[in-house]
Structure 1
Amino acid sequence: MSRYSAVIVLAALSMSLAACKPKAPAPQPDAAASTAASSPESNAAGATPTKDSAPASQAQFDIEKVPVSKGALPPFPYLEYPAGINEEGRFTDKANFDSLYVVAGKQLRKVEGRVESHKFYLSDANLSEAEARRNYENLIAQMGGVKVNEAIPSELAPASSEAPAANDQKTRSDWSMSYDAYLVRKPDQLVWIVLMSSNSNIGTLVVAEQPFKQTVAFVTADAMQSQLASAGHVALYINFDTDKASIRPDGRPAVDEIIKLLEKDPSLKLTIEGHTDNVGDPAHNKVLSQQRADAVMGSLIAAGIAKERLNAVGLGDAKPVAANKDEEGRARNRRVELVKRT
């Protein structure tokens, strides 16, 4: 099998196996391959296509021409790691919903849905590249998967301004890996599977297409009122400019809902607490949190809320609601809390 430049068009796959576990470097393309890559008849895997070199028009990939699979689909992510690979040797990325590009026909196609990728070293599984590929190819065939790519990512110019170029920083290039994309077409489901391999490692990428579901909503005045009645406080995530106390335009809707809350209940008095994560100097964080609480209070007063009903205090990183060990936890700690005053 010839070697191609494999481009995983998914930011979540930016992880490099070589960085996780030292191995001998993959062999570089030999002179013959380099000569073939530079010949007019072959658009090389390593060549960066230009807009002018792209075909004037290409037939759109037609999903309807892919036969509907009658094979049974196992539970997501459909493909398991080989037996014998422990957790340390498993390199997994997944998301309940993500957007990425796969090659369909001779085009980069944007797909969205549930995503999971697996990578492992062949030596950890005691498999040759051919044996590992044959295992995966057989499983994909049993699911009714059809190979759909007629090119590899680095041969393709972006189909639109949104699509990444082969050398885009949002892509990951591995010059030694092959690239094969498959589609499992069910009556009510499209599943994309990308299989990549080299003489040292193998990777799979699975995307089960599904529509986006809104999971984030505005915190309304009614929701704030309910939370204050039951818990006495409510956490809000108001967007500020980085390391500043100026409220960003996308933070205004939350402030507007606080105004509605206070107008709805003229007897309600609130303390506005500013909170930060623990990144940086604690003294600076405390000052910043006070400034942000003051900014929110100032916006409420400017809207006609009586100053006597409000109080602002900055607590910095003193009262975290989550561990500050990762960005998810730090994001939860960067908040403004409304506390009901008696």
Structure 2
Amino acid sequence: MSSNSKLAFTVALCIAIPLFGCKRKSDVPQPDVAVAAAVAPSKPANAESANNPPNPKTGFDLNSVPVSTIPLPPFPYLDWPQGLADGDRFSDKSAFDRAYVVAGNELHAVEGRIENRRFRDADAQLTQLASQRNYEAAIKALGGVKVNTVLPGDPAFVKANGGDLGDLIVNKLHLKDYVDAYDAYLIRTPEKNIWIAVTTSSTSTQISTIEEQAMKQQVAFVTADAMQSELNTKGHIALYINFDTDKALIKQDGMAAVDEIGKLLNKDPALKLSVEGHTDNSGDAQHNKALSQQRADVVVATLVTKGIDKARLSAKGMGADNPIADNGNEEGRAKNRRVELVKQ
């Protein structure tokens, strides 16, 4: 086979692309896969066990995926199929956002750098199966392990995540078409986790890549004096306290804001506060409500450990019910993910 008929992949993601019309598939032979030159040809010693997905009965355990030391090309790791014209390539990207993948039999939230790519299989001279198999081979050569044990359309999975298949496909998995095949992979390296979802429909392929990483803090914490001024003027103030993704665990850089709340309460012994957690509208509403309550609770509990009387504090989880910005873009969603202090 000539070099022009081979594919070279380098790893990527795909969200905001219009639906395509039907187009006759090419009858030409399907090309083989050629992994990018930056990838070492050998596989790790535990490659066979790495290809076994987690047990669906126990949910998804990230630690069940072996760490890979295979050298990786630059983000987004996989290239477009060779010969695909620029006008047939559709993509969008974000430096930091939240996306969801199917891991085990669960919907798993991931935050980090994202790129989404999509193309019509016929434009790449691929059948649906050839596209799926080519990406599967390329991702596994990079140390990727398939992690989903159910498909997005599985009735039990849909029921567990809101019961609306259309909402699950479009708003949570950010796919622009219903899927015939969905394969989610995790490349777990010593430095970071990389998630890749390969989705194929009857006419097109979508590659979703998320390089998991913490948000770079762009909003400075508010001092105790500034909090007091805002509470005296407006009766409430929005704070941005960093938590672990999808957890009620305050990150180390989020503790500075909590320390300032403690200083505020110590400075004004008569002050009582309601600590209210808020989220954006991504994901399941019931889950977001519970998560916001847990985060408000942990802020209160942390303040109590610092000597603040529990009777001066209350915690409420508001979920996504009270947005202060547009949830249609990441800037707005970031503003909505907040903790508010309300003067009592």
User: TM-score normalized by structure 2?
Assistant: 0.46
Rg larger in structure? 1
User: TM-score normalized by structure 1?
Assistant: 0.46
